[in-house]
């Protein structure tokens, strides 16, 4: 006789396990402690087997019958319900092990060791904030282009276009890693080319007209702030490194006798050499008695244990009346790049090397940090001498006019 809800509710445990049979192999097993489990008894390949269907009352009588019927359907198709359950459990485990977040963190762990620390921090924070909450738990092989775009659109919608493009690029790297390691068949990020609004190129204020550059240099020479900021201002156009690299410069990396500054470029985590002109060495020797006992060449105003504020040079330029649209700390790089090439006729690859940009030889290999070093030494001295003449108005050559 089939079971009823009333029969099940009123069933009491005994000293031994009690079995209450429903029909077509379904029964309820009651333990001596009162627990009630649904079981399905069946035969497969001549062997009697049992399949657990859940615990009562979480699984009701109706639910248990539905699960039994599903198991019987598998049997009718020649499939063992127990083996089918094991296969599904294994597949779920595989999907969880190959979720986007798991693969992304594996990719990050593999490659981040070669990156600058702050670069790696930005990437993992971007994933944790903008990607993992939405698709991190999804099996990476099942993520579609529209699903990925929905996650990226959330970044775009808050106006962070550059972050959206970077996030999409990072996701593409993860998908390609998944393809290479056999966890996915393709990279859906490639289908989203052109789906995001374009990013306007970043613009760092800089005037490259020699006559105006001369006026800015004279104003900087007349700056009456602290010696530390004054030296940083005077050195910036001579070495034209990134502002963060200048303010974080350490005395341990500078050899004044060899006229060299060697450090690791934070953006690419690659070693770099800056040949120092006679003028640059003179500025550093002037500053050394003041800050040379500490770590930083340009320490902060409040603590010698920290570098100068990233706003110090910019604030000094503004106090001198140099407009923010005319020159920035980063703008000295554009000034050097333009005038060295178009006025002084220096080879572009020498300039690109000195700017710490990626330059490759004809075979596609990256040049090392010492490439063209003798020529770059001459270029840096030529540049410093040119700026000296420019300041006194002896060598103001206008830039060539391009059609």
Task: Give catalytic residues, as residue numbers.
Answer: 242, 267, 330, 333, 357, 367
Single out the residue of 220, 213, 206 nearest to residue 389, CA to CA: 213
Q: How far apart are CA 37 and CA 190, in angstroms?
A: 50
Contact between 308 and 245 under an 8 Å Cβ cutoff? The reply is no
Cis peptide before 57 (omega within 30 of 0): yes
Q: Number of helices and strands (H, E) in the chain?
A: 16, 7
Contact between 40 and 21 under an 8 Å Cβ cutoff? The reply is no
Contact between 341 and 351 under an 8 Å Cβ cutoff? The reply is yes
Single out the residue of 381, 337, 343, 342 nearest to residue 356, CA to CA: 337
Give CA 51 to chain center in angstroms.
48
Contact between 271 and 264 under an 8 Å Cβ cutoff? The reply is yes
Element (H, E) at 48: strand 47-55
Phi, psi values for residue 366, rounded to 5°? -75, 135
> Which of helix, strand or coil describes residue 128?
helix
C-alpha separations of 58 from 35, 53, 61, 62, 63 in Å: 12, 11, 10, 11, 9
Question: How many C-beta atoms surround the C-beta of residue 289 within 10 A?
Answer: 9
> Which of helix, strand or coil describes residue 78?
coil
**Sign (positive or negative) of CA dihedral 121, 126, 127, 132:** positive
Residues in the chain: 403
Is residue 234 classed exposed, middle or buried when 0-12, 13-18 and 19+ CB atoms within 10 A define those classes?
Answer: buried
Contacts of residue 13, defined as CB under 8 A and 6 or more positions apart, other chains included, come to 30, 31, 32, 33, 34
End-to-end CA distance of the chain: 98
In the numeric block, which tokens belong to residue 326?
């005319």
Angle at 246 between CA 242 and CA 247, to 5 degrees: 120
């Amino acid at each position: 006789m089939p079971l009823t809800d009333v029969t099940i509710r009123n069933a009491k445990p005994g000293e031994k396990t009690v079995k209450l049979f429903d029909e077509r192999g379904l029964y309820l097993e009651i333990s001596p402690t009162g627990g009630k489990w649904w079981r399905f008894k069946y035969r497969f390949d001549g062997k009697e087997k049992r399949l657990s269907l859940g615990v009562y009352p979480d699984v009701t009588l109706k639910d248990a019958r539905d699960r039994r019927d599903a198991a019987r359907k598998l049997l009718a198709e020649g499939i063992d319900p127990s083996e089918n359950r094991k296969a599904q459990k294994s597949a779920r485990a595989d999907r969880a092990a190959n979720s986007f977040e798991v693969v992304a963190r594996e990719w990050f762990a593999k490659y981040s060791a070669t990156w600058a620390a702050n670069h790696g921090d930005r990437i993992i924070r971007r994933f944790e904030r903008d990607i993992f909450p939405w698709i991190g738990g999804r099996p990476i092989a099942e993520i579609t282009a529209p699903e990925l775009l929905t996650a990226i659109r959330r970044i775009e919608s808050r106006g962070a276009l550059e972050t959206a493009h970077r996030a999409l690029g990072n996701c593409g790297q993860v998908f390609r890693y998944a393809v290479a390691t056999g966890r996915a068949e393709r990279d859906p990020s490639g289908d989203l080319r052109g789906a995001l609004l374009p990013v306007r190129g970043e613009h760092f204020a800089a005037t490259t007209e020699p006559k105006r550059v001369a006026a800015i240099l004279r104003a900087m020479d007349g700056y009456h702030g602290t010696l530390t900021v004054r030296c940083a201002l005077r050195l910036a156009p001579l070495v034209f490194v990134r502002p963060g690299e200048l303010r974080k410069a350490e005395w341990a990396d500078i050899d004044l006798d060899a006229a060299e500054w060697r450090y690791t470029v934070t953006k690419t985590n690659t070693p770099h050499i800056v040949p120092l002109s006679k003028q640059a060495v003179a500025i550093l020797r002037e500053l050394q008695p003041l800050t040379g006992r500490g770590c930083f060449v340009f320490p902060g105003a409040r603590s010698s244990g920290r570098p100068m504020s990233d706003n110090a040079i910019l604030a000094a330029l503004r106090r001198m009346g140099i407009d923010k649209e005319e020159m920035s700390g980063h703008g000295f790089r554009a000034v050097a790049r333009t005038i060295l090439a178009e006025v002084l006729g220096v080879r572009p690859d020498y300039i690109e090397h000195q700017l710490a940009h990626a330059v490759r030889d004809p075979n596609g290999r990256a040049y090392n940090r010492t490439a063209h070093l003798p020529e770059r030494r001459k270029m840096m001295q030529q540049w410093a001498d040119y700026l000296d003449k420019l300041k006194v108005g002896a060598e103001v050559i206008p830039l060539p006019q391009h059609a």
